[in-house]
């Protein structure tokens, strides 16, 4: 009964509230990796323009793109941040809900680093080490066996006998996809497991899926929260090794030490030159239909990729973003409002 | 049963003055129980003590902030090349255009004061100051274009690392591999400190200010999210008190006692126990997706305090109904009987006699329900009130209700997630503010109860 009254009164309130129509601020949601960058840009945008400061929510790339694809209108978000490219399936969902003209903006690159406690062993990893540590099944002498490795010394005799305790991003994070693709899959091929699986009669697709699978016996933990949660886990378990974004690591050098990957130390420079193997582009996606409806949307997008903001000397690079050498092309693309179908 | 009479008893040697074995045993049990109770209370107090000392020791730092006093020359050549003081032209210089001014001012002060430092790069020098300084500078110039060309004294916030150094959070060792600040900076900070250019003092902006982006934790404040919380509480108060009190009065005084009202009662009690996150999902589905999306009511949108308030109303209603009914029940039937006896109608008896007497109880319940709603975070996560949101002050009551905003506990949650350790300190400071609010509300509830409650 009270619910009916509540509904009636809330609708009544909304009827009074009706004059405060269309939204006058840009609304952004998505990847928690992009969130700091987006918030830096949003704040500077609010300082430099007469528009209100845009609102930036986090929640992960997939969650952001899901909200992005819900439809067009003031009660949907204008921009989705993503730490991976949009998937075909998501484009189809978008199209089904009327979001057909999407502008894809690459803002720069981010490195994915492996770090452990400051006082722990200084690791020098290769992708193969991570595959051998985390895969549920590995290849041994050409045969596929259950992964017997319990300590890092089992994985690579050069490492100390420290129990494997990996904290990797959960599946709703874009970072996970990059981790699978650039670390596990590469390690899978390097150790010969991929060939062994094919030889054992698996189809190529199945073998690829098996390559990026992660063991479920408790040695690897999916972190669905943010990097602060990963850091807290490593604080609690000094044997833990976590997967972080480069920017996060650089803000916490007083408690973390970073491992090299394939012999390369992750830095802004080594990522920009492509030497460091585990990096990924960061994107945001923009609804063309909202340009002109939501005040300041296009200005915000243009401001985001300005040289002064996303360039190598801008505040984003200062925070840890590896700036995109092709920023100029992105700037023209936004200025001309090229959507994904036409642009690429 | 058969031979109880034959049980031989030891001859009674005890009197009231000497304890026998059984009495001793019973007395010992009582003493033991008292000790258990004291131990339980002691454990509880210990936890409270640990909690409070942790919160206070970690959080008080957030209320202080390091400021740098600096004379900045507002160079005409950089800010207004034409010299026409045309505000539109001045506005074209973005905040980034103010960076060289800061760097020049810093190197000038190093020369003037005879500081010794190996830092020469202007970008490295600027790392002493908050990146918010350029925004502060630009806002000043736009407000006072006549000051261009003059040298003006400014109070800038120091960067979070410098602030952390003065608070003991950052040391030379911890900066060894830090790219935001180097030990050389700290040497300079020491000299500036000796010269009185740097000062740590109370920071009102932490309580009144807006949220700031990830690279300037020093500038972040609770103010806007506090306003968001207040607007949500307003919605909760305006909706849940009338609805809750009306429901309770009807159920308690007028409703026939039958299976249907029993069912409603059971459901209300159950609703009070529903986890708050469930109301968050309901809010997302009903208020935002259905009311906002399908019905097209524009003010029902994600991150709006109006929606947050509605969700919290759902959560608070059962609490208010239950406490109101308890307060009504506590009014003795003799009051009602007397009123009815002198010819009052049922409604007059309730509104003239029962309700005023139950008022203190109702108020107490309402305040406790509100305090509970004020500290609630979980449902707000689902309706988009967490993120970089609380950055605009609302300019009217309407915009306060519908413009995106956060709430105090959601803001604390957000800060705890951010990568810079300085935000962590802010999160603890935010907890202190929230606790002060909650304690104030609880104290008001206690005072009301003490002063006005009547016992029969």
Confidence of residue A21 (pLDDT cuts 50, 70, 90): very low
A127 and A96 housed in the same domain: no
**Do A304 and A263 fall into the same domain?**
no
The residue of A11, A20, A33 whose CB has the most chain B CBs within 10 angstroms, and thus the best one to mutate to test that interface, is A20
Mean pLDDT, range A6-22, rounded to an integer: 48
Q: Is A119 in the same domain as A260?
A: yes
B248 to chain A: closest CA residue: A2
When pLDDT is averaged across residues B371-375 and rounded to a whole number, the result is 92
pLDDT in tens, A259-269: 999 889 998 88
Q: A14: pLDDT confidence band, cut at 50, 70 and 90?
A: very low
Residue B12 pLDDT: 60
User: Given its phi and psi angles, is residue B85 left (phi above 0), alpha (psi -120 to 50 degrees) or beta?
Assistant: left
Residues A173 and A235 in one domain: yes
Q: Kindly indicate the confidence band of residue A204, based on its pLDDT and cuts at 50, 70 and 90.
A: confident
Residue-range domain boundaries for chain B: 65-202, 223-452
In this structure, the answer to whether residues A49 and A132 fall within a common structural domain is no
Going by C-alpha positions, the residue among A82, A49, A58 that lies closest to residue A302 is A49
Taking contacts as CB-CB distances below 8 angstroms, the residues of chain B near A235 are none
Where in the sequence is the domain holding A322, given as residue range(s)? 2-109+281-343
- Closest partner residue to B214 among A36, A46, A314, by Cβ? A36
Picking from A11-15, A144-148, B426-430, which range would have the lowest pLDDT averaged per residue?
A11-15
**Interface membership of A313 toward B (CB under 8 Å):** yes
pLDDT band at A20 (very low <50, low <70, confident <90, very high): very low
pLDDT digits (tens, 9 = 90+) for B306-330: 999 999 999 999 999 999 999 999 9
Q: Which CATH superfamily is domain B223-452 in?
A: MetI-like (1.10.3720.10)
Nearest chain B residue (CA) to A251: B420
State the burial class of residue B34 (Cβ atoms within 10 Å of its Cβ: 0-12, 13-18, 19+).
Answer: exposed
Question: Do A252 and A173 reside in the same domain of the chain?
Answer: yes
Contact at CB, A253 and B213, closer than 8 angstroms: no
B214–A35: do the CB atoms touch at under 8 Å?
Answer: yes
Using only the alpha carbons of chain B, give its radius of gyration: 32
Residue B362 has pLDDT above 70, yes or no: yes
Asked if A133 and A102 sit in the same domain, the reply is no
**Do A271 and A298 share a domain, yes or no?**
no
Q: Give dist(CA B74, CA B67) in Å, integer.
A: 20
d(CA B417, CA B419): 7
Question: What is the Cα gyration radius of chain A?
Answer: 23
DSSP assignment string, B426-448: HHHHHHHHHHHHHHHHHHHHHHH
| Residue in A with minimal Cα distance to B411 | A57
Are the beta carbons of B298 and A47 separated by less than 8 Å?
A: no
Question: Which of A260, A279, A298 represents a domain boundary (last residue)?
Answer: A279
> What band does A17 get if pLDDT is binned at 50, 70 and 90?
very low
According to DSSP, residue B209 is labeled S
Q: Are strands A102-117 and A279-287 parallel, antiparallel or unpaired?
A: antiparallel
Q: Tell me, yes or no, whether A168 and A144 share the same domain.
A: yes
Question: Which chain B residues are within 8 Å of A37, Cβ to Cβ?
Answer: 214
Statement to judge: residues A181 and A56 lie in one domain: no
Q: Are A120 and A269 in a shared domain?
A: yes
Point out the residue among B179, B313, B421 whose CB comes nearest to the CB of A6.
B313
A197 and A101 co-located in one domain: no
Categorize the per-residue pLDDT at B81 as very low, low, confident or very high, splitting at 50, 70 and 90: confident
A48 has a chain B CB within 8 A of its CB:
yes
**Backbone phi and psi for residue A113, each to the nearest 5 degrees, phi listed first:** -115, 160
pLDDT band of A137, cuts 50, 70, 90: confident
| Strand runs labelled E in B55-166 | 64-73, 151-157
* Average model confidence (pLDDT) across chain A: 86
Task: Please state the rounded mean pLDDT for residues B85-98.
Answer: 86
What is the per-residue pLDDT across B37-52, written as a single tens digit (0 to 9) for each? 999 999 999 999 999 9
Given an 8 Å threshold on Cβ–Cβ distance, is B300 in contact with A75? yes
Q: Is the pLDDT of residue A343 over 70?
A: no
Interface test with A, best of B391, B394, B411 (most A CBs within 10 A): B391
DSSP A76: S
Residue A227, domain CATH: 3.40.190.10
pLDDT of residue A16: 45
Banded model confidence at residue A8, pLDDT cuts 50, 70, 90: low
Bridge partners for B342 per DSSP = none
CB contact under 8 A, A254 and B421: yes
d(CA B233, CA B221): 20
Flag if B213 and A43 touch (Cβ within 8 Å).
yes
Taking residues B397-404, what's their average pLDDT?
87
Q: Does A258 touch chain B (CB under 8 A)?
A: no
Asked if A228 has any chain B CB less than 8 Å from its own CB, the reply is yes
- CA-closest candidate to residue A46, choices A258, A287, A295: A295
Count of residues for chain A? Answer: 344
**Is residue B330 classed exposed, middle or buried when 0-12, 13-18 and 19+ CB atoms within 10 A define those classes?**
middle
pLDDT at B10: 57
Q: Is the pLDDT of residue A101 over 80?
A: yes
- A113 token code pair: 């680093």
Task: Report which secondary-structure segment, H or E, holds A104.
Answer: strand A102-117
Residue A168, pLDDT score:
92
Dist. CA A159–CA A122, nearest whole Å: 9
Which helix (H) or strand (E) covers residue A176, if one does?
helix A174-179
Q: What is the pLDDT of residue B7?
A: 56
Q: How confident is the model at residue A59 (pLDDT cuts 50, 70, 90)?
A: confident
Residue A311 sits at the chain B interface (C-beta within 8 Å): no
Res B312: pLDDT:
94
Q: Are the C-beta atoms of A282 and A106 separated by less than 8 Å?
A: yes
pTM: 0.82
Residues 6+ apart with CB under 8 A from B131: A315, B159, B215, B216
Nearest-CA distance from B116 to chain A in Å?
Answer: 26
Say whether residue B51 is in contact with chain A using an 8 A CB cutoff: no
How far apart, in whole angstroms, are the C-alpha atoms of residue A70 and residue A28? Answer: 14
Please say if the pLDDT value at position A12 is more than 90.
Answer: no
Q: Is the pLDDT of residue B221 over 60?
A: yes
- Taking CA atoms, A176 is separated from A74, A112, A124, A182, A285, in Å, by 31, 10, 21, 10, 20
Alpha-carbon gap, residue B448 to A178, rounded angstroms? 59
**pLDDT at B165 (0 to 100):** 92
By mean pLDDT, which of A69-73, B35-39, B236-240 is the weakest?
A: A69-73
- A75–B96: do the CB atoms touch at under 8 Å? no
| Contacts with A314 from chain B: Cβ below 8 Å | 96
Confidence category of residue A7, pLDDT binned at 50, 70, 90:
low
Under an 8 A CB cutoff, do B247 and A225 touch? no
Q: Please tell me which residue, B56 or A313, carries the higher pLDDT value.
A: B56
**Nearest-neighbour CA in chain A from B253: distance (Å):** 17
| Pick from A344, A335, A237, A341: nearest CA to A281 | A344
Q: Is the pLDDT of residue B63 over 80?
A: yes
Q: What tokens appear for B351 in the block?
A: 């509104």
Q: Average model confidence (pLDDT) for chain B?
A: 89
The alpha carbon of residue B335 is apart from the nearest alpha carbon of chain A, in Å, by 28
Distance CA B7, CA B9 (A): 6
**Residue A23 backbone phi and psi in degrees, to 5:** -65, 140
* Structural domain count of chain A: 2
Q: Is the pLDDT of residue B19 over 80?
A: no
Mean pLDDT score, A104-133: 90
CB B299 to CB A251 under 8 A?
A: no
Mean pLDDT to the nearest integer, B175-200: 88
Q: Looking at chain B, which residue has its C-alpha nearest residue A303? A: B94
Q: Is A119 on the interface with B (CB under 8 A)?
A: no
- Whether residue A5 and residue B314 make contact (CB cut-off 8 A), yes or no, is no
How far is Cα B38 from Cα B30, in angstroms, rounded to an integer?
Answer: 12
What is the distance in angstroms between the Cα of A1 and the nearest Cα belonging to chain B?
A: 9
Cβ distance B239 to A10 under 8 Å? yes
Is residue A15 very low, low, confident or very high in pLDDT (cuts 50, 70, 90)? very low
Residues of chain A with Cβ-Cβ distance to B254 below 8 Å are none
Q: Which of A224, A252, A279 is the last residue of a domain?
A: A279
């Amino acid at each position: 009964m009270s619910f009916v009254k509540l509904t009636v009164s809330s609708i009544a309130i909304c009827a009074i509230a009706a004059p405060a129509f269309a939204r006058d601020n840009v609304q952004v949601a998505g990847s928690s990796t992009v969130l700091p960058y987006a918030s830096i840009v949003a704040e500077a945008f609010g300082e430099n323009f007469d528009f209100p400061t845009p609102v930036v929510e986090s929640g992960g790339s997939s969650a952001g793109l899901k909200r992005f694809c819900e439809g067009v209108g003031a009660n949907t978000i204008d921009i989705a941040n993503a730490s991976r490219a949009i998937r075909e399936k998501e484009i189809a969902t978008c199209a089904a809900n009327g979001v057909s003209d999407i502008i894809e903006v690459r803002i720069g690159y981010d490195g994915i680093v492996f770090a452990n406690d400051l006082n722990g062993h200084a690791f020098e990893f290769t992708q193969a080490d991570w595959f051998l540590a985390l895969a549920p099944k590995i290849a041994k002498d050409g045969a596929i066996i259950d992964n017997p490795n319990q300590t890092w010394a089992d994985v690579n005799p050069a490492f100390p006998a420290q129990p494997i305790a990996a904290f990797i991003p959960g599946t709703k994070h874009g970072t996970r996809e990059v981790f699978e693709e650039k670390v596990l899959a590469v390690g899978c091929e390097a150790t010969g497991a991929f060939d062994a699986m094919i030889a054992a009669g698996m189809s190529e697709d199945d073998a690829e899926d098996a390559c990026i699978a992660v063991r479920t016996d408790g040695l690897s933990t999916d972190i669905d929260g943010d990097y602060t949660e990963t850091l807290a886990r490593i604080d609690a378990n000094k044997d833990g090794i976590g997967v972080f974004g480069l920017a996060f690591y650089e803000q916490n050098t007083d408690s973390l030490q970073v491992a090299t990957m394939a012999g390369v130390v992750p830095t802004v420079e080594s990522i920009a030159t492509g030497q460091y193997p585990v990096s990924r582009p960061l994107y945001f996606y923009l609804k063309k239909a909202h340009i002109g409806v939501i005040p300041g949307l296009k200005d915000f997008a243009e401001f985001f990729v300005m040289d002064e903001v996303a360039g190598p000397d801008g505040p984003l690079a200062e925070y840890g973003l590896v700036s995109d050498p092709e920023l100029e092309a992105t700037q023209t693309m936004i200025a001309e409002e090229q959507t994904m179908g036409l642009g690429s | 049963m058969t031979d109880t009479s034959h049980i031989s008893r030891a001859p009674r040697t005890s009197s009231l003055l000497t304890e026998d074995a059984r009495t001793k045993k019973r007395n010992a049990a009582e003493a033991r129980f008292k000790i258990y109770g004291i131990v339980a209370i002691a454990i509880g107090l210990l936890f409270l003590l640990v909690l409070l000392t942790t919160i206070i020791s970690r959080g008080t730092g957030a209320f202080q902030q390091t400021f740098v006093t600096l004379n900045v020359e507002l160079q005409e050549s950089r800010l207004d090349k034409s010299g026409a003081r045309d505000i539109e032209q001045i506005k074209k210089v973005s905040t980034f255009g103010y960076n060289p001014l800061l760097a020049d001012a810093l190197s000038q002060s190093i020369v003037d004061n005879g500081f010794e430092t190996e830092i020469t790069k202007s970008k490295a020098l600027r790392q002493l100051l908050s990146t918010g300084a350029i925004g502060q500078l630009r806002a000043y110039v736009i407000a006072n274009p006549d000051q261009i060309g003059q040298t003006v004294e400014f109070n800038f916030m120091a960067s979070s690392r410098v602030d952390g150094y003065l608070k003991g959070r950052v040391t030379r060792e911890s900066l060894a591999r830090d790219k935001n600040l180097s030990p050389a900076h700290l040497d300079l900070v020491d000299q500036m400190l000796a010269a009185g250019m740097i000062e740590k003092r109370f920071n009102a902006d932490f309580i009144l200010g807006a949220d700031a982006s990830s690279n300037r934790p020093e500038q972040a404040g609770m103010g806007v999210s506090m306003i968001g919380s207040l607007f949500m509480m307003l919605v909760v108060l305006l909706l849940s008190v009338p609805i809750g009190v009306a429901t309770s009065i009807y159920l308690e005084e007028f409703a026939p006692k039958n299976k249907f009202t029993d069912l409603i009662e059971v459901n209300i009690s159950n609703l009070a126990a529903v986890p708050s996150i469930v109301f968050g999902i309901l809010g997302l589905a009903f208020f935002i997706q259905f009311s906002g999306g399908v019905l097209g009511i524009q003010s029902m949108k994600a991150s709006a305090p109006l929606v947050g308030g509605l969700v919290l109303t759902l959560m608070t209603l059962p609490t208010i109904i239950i406490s109101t009914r308890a307060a009504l029940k506590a009014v003795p039937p003799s009051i009602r009987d007397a009123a009815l006896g002198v010819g009052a109608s049922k409604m007059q008896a309730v509104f003239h006699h029962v309700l005023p007497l139950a008022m203190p109880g109702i108020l107490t319940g309402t305040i406790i329900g509100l305090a509970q709603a004020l500290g609630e975070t979980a449902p707000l996560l689902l309706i988009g009130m967490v993120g970089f949101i609380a950055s605009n002050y609302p300019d009217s009551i309407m915009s306060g209700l519908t413009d995106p905003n956060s709430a105090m506990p959601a803001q604390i949650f957000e800060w705890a997630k951010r990568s810079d350790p300085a935000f962590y300190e802010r999160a603890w400071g935010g907890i202190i503010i929230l606790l002060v609010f909650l304690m104030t509300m609880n104290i008001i509830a206690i005072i009301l109860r003490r002063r006005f409650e009547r016992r029969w």
